[in-house]
Amino acid sequence: MSVSIKRFDLSGFVETIKQAFTAPSSGLESFREISPYDEIVYGFSYSEFPRYWSKEEEPDIVKTIMEGMLLVFLPFEVSCFEDEILFCIDGTTIDIPQSGSKDPYGESLLDIIEDDSNVIGFCVLREEGHILIDSCMHHKASVNNLVPFLKPLEFCGFLEEPMQSFLNRFILKP
């Protein structure tokens, strides 16, 4: 998705995601023990290893994006509960289907979600006068794969509509 910088509330988008980690989400679960900087990572491109900000840094994520030099990953799904329910950044929960369609490019979304080292979200980059937002997976280092990475997703299956609805909240009317 590409949207004019003037038509996207980037500050609101980033703050909403950060707040999900500092306040209880819909009374279902509190994420206070997780810093937003445990989940929000950055890189110079998809081919680079994602990097974490230090918790002491308190970076200005909006400024980082607006300077247009870094790709920033912001999570959409926060956690999976007993492989049945997905908690999302906007406070909603989504029932995880027991079977899913395959991504034409490889693994199924269910396979991605079931791996605790993966997080589904958005990669955000400023390019010229636009904010580019892609569906993305952040794979954290794990026992099975010690190399963390960011991977754009062409297909988000049952998450496509909720992710788009969340983004639409931040598109400003002309």
The fraction of the chain above a pLDDT of 90, given in percent, is 38
E-assigned strand segments in the chain? 2-4, 41-43, 51-52, 71-75, 77-81, 85-88, 93-95, 118-127, 130-139, 149-152
Per-residue pLDDT of 137-149, as tens digits, reads: 998 876 777 788 9
Q: What average pLDDT does range 160-165 have in this prediction? A: 93
Kindly report the pTM of this predicted structure. Answer: 0.84
CA dist 161 and 142 (Å) reads: 29
What pLDDT score was predicted for residue 73? 95
User: In angstroms, what is the C-alpha Rg of the chain?
Assistant: 15
Per-residue pLDDT of 102-125, as tens digits, reads: 544 445 787 888 888 889 999 999
Q: How far from 22 is each of 9, 38, 50, 51, 89, CA to CA, in Å?
A: 20, 12, 23, 21, 11
- 115 burial (CB, 10 Å; 0-12 / 13-18 / 19+) is middle
Per-residue pLDDT of 4-21, as tens digits, reads: 999 999 999 999 998 887
